[in-house]
Amino acid sequence: METLQVNIHEAKTQLSKLIQEALRGKEVIIARGNQPVVRLDVLPEVRSRRKIGNAKGLILSMSHDFDEPLEDFRDYME
């Protein structure tokens, strides 16, 4: 998990941005000076849950040779 640490003044002026970062999965720490004092955390009921199969129907067609090596990369495959 990526951590983002900001001071109190920065947290006051950029609260909306910090909330979005926390919702995206970053750990947001608010510090006084260089000393961490508070962690911004997302409530469990707000966290998005992964839903298996939610991309069903997204691929409409696929070429029969989609997994064949590309000619440009033949030198790397040897």
Any domain includes 4? yes
Any domain includes 54? no
Q: How confident is the model at residue 52 (pLDDT cuts 50, 70, 90)?
A: confident
Any domain includes 2? yes
Any domain includes 64? no
Any domain includes 3? yes
Q: Which domain covers residue 2, as residue numbers? A: 1-41
Number of domains in the chain: 1
Amino acid at site 67: D
Q: How confident is the model at residue 12 (pLDDT cuts 50, 70, 90)?
A: very high
Any domain includes 7? yes
Any domain includes 16? yes
* pLDDT at residue 68 tops 90: no
Output the domain CATH number for residue 31: 3.40.1620
Radius of gyration of the chain (CA): 22
pTM (2 decimals)? 0.58
pLDDT at 53: 78
Contact 39, 27 (CB under 8 A): yes
